[in-house]
Amino acid sequence: MKIIKISLYKVPPRWLFLKIDTDEGISGWGEPVVEGRAETVKAAVNELTDYLIGRNPNDIEDIWQTLYRGGFYRGGPILMSAISGIEQALWDIKGKYFNIPVYQMLGGKARQKIKVYSWVGGDRPVDVVAAALGKQKEGFLAVKMNASEEMNYIDSFSKVEAVVERVASIREAVGKDFGIGVDFHGRIHKTMAKVIVKELEPYRPMFIEEPVLPENNEALREIAWHTTCPIATGERMYTRWGFKQLLQDGYVDIIQPDLSHTGGILEGKKIAAMAEAYDVAIAPHCPLGPMTLASSLHLDATTPNFIIQEQSLGIHYNEGMDILDYMKNPELFDYENGYVNIPDKPGLGVEIDEEKVKQAAETGHNWKNPIWRNEDGSIAEW
């Protein structure tokens, strides 16, 4: 079996889909994208195509090593996202070739179903209590929300109180056992993060996510001194080497690699195994489309230290098109009582409506995240 063709489709709301065709008629799908940099990743995939045509797609490890180490410069969001989407598609092909789901090739099930959470509140968190109650009524056992809007290095305590009030209101409404993830989104700098995590502690968040930007992970040590809330990070970190120092330092409780950014499914499996050795849980990041979610679920199924899975159905980014809209089998992601079943069809298990993808690609997208500014006009983190 040989790879004969690579096709790319930039589709709304902000995704890039990849299809790999083989000479035996077996095709695989993946998602190589950086949100807001889809064209750049598309160019990176096209540059890597010369390494793929004519290769046996079953040689996933060697292809990954070639793509990663074949160039003098390596790592980073663009290259690793290009490699991630390619690698997902290769697993999809391999599973279809052997007629088994991907998780069976990763060691088999470590659990029978997968816990998921849902987003509430949008970019600028509003109506979070009603939204959280709605998700609870739908059967979800946990939600995640953005903590705040813009916040400067040193900012008013009113902004701190607004964060605490939102979380406190949700906790009062949903009860003590419902999970509340609070995503700082890297918007909050170390000084303010120390204040906020201390104030949030009485409301027992499920986790505090990205309390600082990943380039400032050394600050997690000081932040951890101010709270017993679980600290999560990792969506903007790439490969096992990117997670090495974080795990060695020992101040994180949950890592969140994104399988469309960090290097793909097998790289995610290796990162998860490293985390297990440090008694750290894994909760893969996934505000993206169906192949990224399916890839995550196969990893989750086989990973002992997995704890909960993000998924993007109804997320505020998905304007116009949502995760199920490109699928012929949307029942794959049926959520029941806060859980989803492990995909059991060959490969990733996603049946893509290729005609719909091609039509959507004619429209495409030019999604960019907003540029936020502080009151004085300086750039703020989004």
320 CB-near residues (< 8 Å, 6+ apart):
12, 13
DSSP state of 54: T
> What is the sign of the dihedral through the CA atoms of 63, 92, 11 and 186?
negative
Mean pLDDT taken over the chain: 97
pLDDT recorded at residue 319: 87
- Give the pLDDT score at 20: 98
Alpha carbon of 64 to those of 31, 52, 77: distances in Å?
Answer: 15, 10, 16
Find the mean pLDDT for residues 80-108: 98
pLDDT tens-digit readout, 158-167: 999 999 999 9
Q: According to the model, what pLDDT value does residue 310 have?
A: 98
Q: How many CB atoms lie within 10 A of CB 328?
A: 12
Q: Is pLDDT of 250 > 90? A: yes
Q: What angle separates helix 290-302 from helix 265-277, to the nearest 10 degrees?
A: 40
Radius of gyration, CA atoms only, the chain: 20
Q: What is the pLDDT of residues 198-228, one digit of tens each?
A: 999 999 999 999 999 999 999 999 999 999 9
Catalytic residue among 189, 285, 298, 365: 285
Name the active-site residue from 185, 189, 298, 365: 185
- The β-bridge partners of 341 are 113
pLDDT attached to residue 368 = 96
Tens digits of per-residue pLDDT, 263-302?
999 999 999 999 999 999 999 999 999 999 999 999 999 9
> Catalytic annotation on 226?
no
Count Cβ atoms below 10 Å from residue 280 Cβ, excluding itself: 22
Taking phi over 0 as left and psi of -120 to 50 as alpha, with beta for the rest, 320 belongs to left
Q: What are 382's two structure tokens?
A: 């989004």
How much is the average pLDDT of 304-321? 94
Please indicate whether residue 261 is annotated as part of the active site. no
pLDDT tens-digit series, residues 18-64: 999 999 999 999 999 999 999 999 999 999 999 999 999 999 999 99
Q: What is the pLDDT of residue 268?
A: 98
